[in-house]
Amino acid sequence: MFKEVKYKDILNIKHLSIKKNNITCIVGESGSGKTTLLRLLNRLISHDHGEIFYHDQPLSQIDPVKLRRAVTMLPQTPATFSGSIKDNLLIGLEFAERPLASDNELYELLKRVKLNKELDQDAAKLSGGEKQRVALARVVLMNPEVLLLDEPSSALDEDTEHIIIEELVNYTRKRGKTLIMATHSKKVASQFSDQMIEIKDGKIINGKGV
């Protein structure tokens, strides 16, 4: 939940609440502040006015590293760490200091993001869209409470996008997760979201569907 939140002169939100266990899409033209909003929720940047609450607790009172392990973000440009696909999938769990997953689970995961690749393949040689799906799979593997996805399907063709997002939505619903996703695709937003937030010039102009 947001209250009177300001970040520099980029975002200015009077009031916004994002529901738990829901799928929320953030839409708005390029440069409107979608990424900035997600980064605030991940506490990668700090708001300089007002307060953001997570489970009724002000963000500023939660340990940032703990918060990020529960409210995990996928950046707009997916990151590929040096090493194999396997390394890239497991690195999230390593960062969160959690037990690693077995190869079987990883293959299962790759199947879910429609990647037909060997785990020991060098991740640097993947295509842009494939890297994006590896990065997405990495976040899913971490199984966080809240997934903050910044345009998770921007590098995918329309068909693959549909399959992946649908898979993601099913996963969210089944596991009772909260999904907050910035997207350029009106189609995705209107088809899958419980709540749609539209941002323009850093202001919420539409928060329908609550």
Partner 1 sequence: MDRVVELQLWQMAAAYIFVVMLLFIARIRGISREKEILISSIRMTVQLILVGYILDYLFNNINPLNTIVVIVVMEAFAIHNIIKRTKEKLSKPLKKIIALSMTFGTLASLIYFLLAVINISPWYDPRYFIPIAGMLIGNSMTGISLGVTRLVDGMDSEKHLIESALMLGATPKMATKQIVDNAFDSAILPTINSMVGMGIVFLPGMMTGQILSGISPVTAVSYQIAIMLGILGSVSITVILFVQLGYKTFFNEEKQLIENE
Ligand X SMILES: Nc1ncnc2c1ncn2[C@@H]1O[C@H](COP(=O)(O)OP(=O)(O)OP(=O)(O)O)[C@@H](O)[C@H]1O
- Helix pair angle (128-142, 85-95), 10° resolution: 40
Task: Decide the pairing of beta strands 203-206 and 178-182.
Answer: unpaired
Query: Rounded to an integer, what distance in angstroms lies between the CA atom of residue 205 and that of residue 25?
Result: 14
Q: Which is nearer to partner 1, 70 or 163 (CB)?
A: 70
CB of 82 to partner 1, least distance (A): 8
CB of 189 to Mg ion, least distance (A): 15
Q: Which of 3, 12, 53, 69 binds partner 1 (CB under 8 A)?
A: 69
Query: Rounded to an integer, what distance in angstroms lies between the CA atom of residue 63 and that of residue 127?
Result: 36
Secondary element (H or E) of residue 145: none
Residue nearest to ligand X (CB): 35
Applying the rule CB under 6 A, the residues between 82 and 101 that interact with ligand X are none
Q: Which of 34, 47, 68, 112 binds partner 1 (CB under 8 A)?
A: 68
CB of 183 to ligand X, least distance (A): 9
Contact between 91 and partner 1 (CB under 8 A)?
yes
Query: Which of partner 1, Mg ion, ligand X, none interacts with 152 (beta carbon under 5 to 8 A by kind)?
Result: none
Query: Which of ligand X, partner 1, Mg ion, none interacts with 181 (beta carbon under 5 to 8 A by kind)?
Result: none
**Tokens 């609440």, residue located:** 17
CB of 32 to ligand X, least distance (A): 4
Contact between 28 and ligand X (CB under 6 A)?
yes
Q: Which is nearer to ligand X, 34 or 86 (CB)?
A: 34
What number of other Cβ atoms are within 10 A of residue 112's Cβ? Answer: 18
Q: Is 116 exposed, middle or buried (0-12, 13-18, 19+ CB in 10 A)?
A: exposed
Contact between 34 and partner 1 (CB under 8 A)?
no
Q: How far is CA 79 from CA 4, 73, 120, 128, 136, in A?
A: 32, 11, 18, 10, 10
| Maximum C-alpha span of the chain | 48
Q: Which of 35, 42, 132, 172 binds Mg ion (CB under 5 A)?
A: 35
Contact between 45 and partner 1 (CB under 8 A)?
yes
- Residue among 90, 92, 87 at smallest CA distance from 69: 92
Which residues here bind ligand X, judged by CB under 6 A?
Answer: 10, 28, 30-36, 76
